[in-house]
Structure 1
């Protein structure tokens, strides 16, 4: 199976690098500067699960020509999706499968509009990784997994073939027969975490130390669950019990990656993670004097974006 990984940053570089090291036929779609970096120093991963330096990395650029790939793995930020689609579109053929690892759901709609809907898979990943100053991929904890599946549910020859190609590459892989339910579950959790930690500009532990901190996190979780249920993906008490150990852990230093982006004065995915959740409905409408918690957090982040644009 010929695999194209779009980008060689923290997420795409990690999973693509592991796949390439395991002998899979992997090519990275990168810009000229990143291609030169990889040629000069190789693809370097620093990880508790084992370091890796991969030489002679196969790369391609958007202006190049190549036969269509069997699988395209997409792991860009939501605000870079349009540019990413333009870059990899020439490498999509009639039988190409597109596996996005973005959070939320708006990217699924966008990909289905651009390509044949049957070519788009559902997917998600769990990993904490970043690029350091040397442009090495630094894996920050033990978690590294990909879950994927057919958007229509169930299994297929295609999903089984992809599962076989991804297995045994040094990270966890699961083929799901209900990937949309799992994607919504992750979205609800991440939106709750992002809204809470960004609004307070604090970790989970610090929020819980505030007089009404727990109530606010509970409010966010309730609103996010309401949206999910409104769209046909209810999150029951088993889900609440599962995420509560993280969202209500006393003294926890956990923050959302979106807060780290805010603190670094970087671009954020406010529209994709919170704005689109609000747009999909399910939260009781409030008058202007009684904004829902989700709308309050979203407006907080949009004000941040406005300031960033003004100061750019």
Structure 2
């Protein structure tokens, strides 16, 4: 399959880079500045056990239709990215977003239709360092994908699955992709709201007076929103959430790491949209609302 990866930041650079290293036909759609950096330095993936350098194919505007498009940009850049990638989407193209929150699904379906817009969930601890290299901070690198209706009859699914699996990261097709998007959203909203509101890691919060109680109250808010929306958090997702909020390790969120560097944050898509969802179902979320206000103040001052 001909693959277009939109964005070559930590997420797109990692998964797209691994696909390219596995011999897949990968092209990155990036801004001119990023294209120049990749041409000069290459795409470097620094993992806990090794460093890999490759010279990826990059373009700054689409050059025809692609079979598979992976959208890996920040939520605040989505609309610009969608306008730029639209010429790459043909009648049978599959578009899989690797974004946080859930707002992007509506945007993709509105632009490309439910037959081409699928769901995607990635889990990875990665960031771009000062050199623009992808720094993978742990061995976590999972990708799930699938049609939004949960069906497995789409004749493109075997090709997409074959392309995305066996490429150096954990990947699988899912028949419950919308629920998995919610599972991740609840985790990120809890983690992001806590670390940005209290300006510290989960471990530091747990060691502070009232920290454990705060984290459990915040998790109760996010899970109540999911329950009211018809996507209750259960099983492994609930266990992961609990394990995250009780850790004494210096666990942070990507929003927190962006915030302390003075960078734009995805507060609207991760926390703000959760607050809006709560209002829709009349769920009280005072801690989430406080975090949302704080992130909005921060963003207004950038």
Q: Same fold by TM-score, threshold 0.5 exceeded?
A: yes
Q: Give ranges in structure 2 of 5+ residues lacking alignment.
A: none
Partner of 2:210: 212
User: How far 1:38 moved relative to its partner?
Assistant: 2.1
More displaced stretch, 36-45 vs 71-80? 36-45
User: How far 1:237 moved relative to its partner?
Assistant: 6.4
Partner of 2:142: 145
After TM superposition, the score normalised by the length of structure 2 is 0.94
Partner of 2:297: 303
One of 157, 160, 173 as aligned partner of 2:158: 160
State whether structure 2 residue 180 is matched by structure 1 residue 182.
Answer: yes
State whether structure 2 residue 132 is matched by structure 1 residue 135.
Answer: yes
Partner of 2:47: 47
**Residue correspondence of structure 1 range 1-80 to structure 2 within 5 A:** 1-48=1-48, 50-55=50-55, 57-62=56-61, 66-80=63-77
Partner of 2:278: 281
User: How far 1:30 moved relative to its partner?
Assistant: 1.3
User: How far 1:24 moved relative to its partner?
Assistant: 0.6
Kindly provide the CA deviation profile for residues 204-259 of structure 1, in whole angstroms up to 9, marking residues without a partner as x: 1221122221121111111111111121111236643332122111x221111111
User: How far 1:46 moved relative to its partner?
Assistant: 1.4
Q: Is the 8 A contact 1:49 1:142 kept in 2?
A: no
More displaced stretch, 201-210 vs 77-86? 201-210
Kindly provide the CA deviation profile for residues 275-309 of structure 1, in whole angstroms up to 9, marking residues without a partner as x: 111112366466xxxx711111111111111222x
Partner of 2:85: 88
Q: Is the 8 A contact 1:111 1:120 kept in 2?
A: yes
More displaced stretch, 151-160 vs 218-227? 151-160
Partner of 2:234: 236
More displaced stretch, 41-50 vs 66-75? 41-50
Q: Secondary structure at the match of 1:133?
A: coil
Q: Is the 8 A contact 1:104 1:183 kept in 2?
A: yes
After TM superposition, the score normalised by the length of structure 1 is 0.91
Q: CA RMSD in A?
A: 1.7
Corresponding residue pairs, total? 300
Partner of 1:200: 198
Structure 1's 58 and 225: CA in aligned 2 closer, same or farther, altered over 3 A?
Answer: same
User: How far 1:60 moved relative to its partner?
Assistant: 1.4
Partner of 1:170: 168
Q: Secondary structure at the match of 2:122?
A: strand
Q: CA–CA distance in 2 between the matches of 1:200 and 1:143?
A: 26
Structure 1's 182 and 295: CA in aligned 2 closer, same or farther, altered over 3 A?
Answer: same
Structure 1's 211 and 134: CA in aligned 2 closer, same or farther, altered over 3 A?
Answer: closer
User: How far 1:49 moved relative to its partner?
Assistant: 5.0
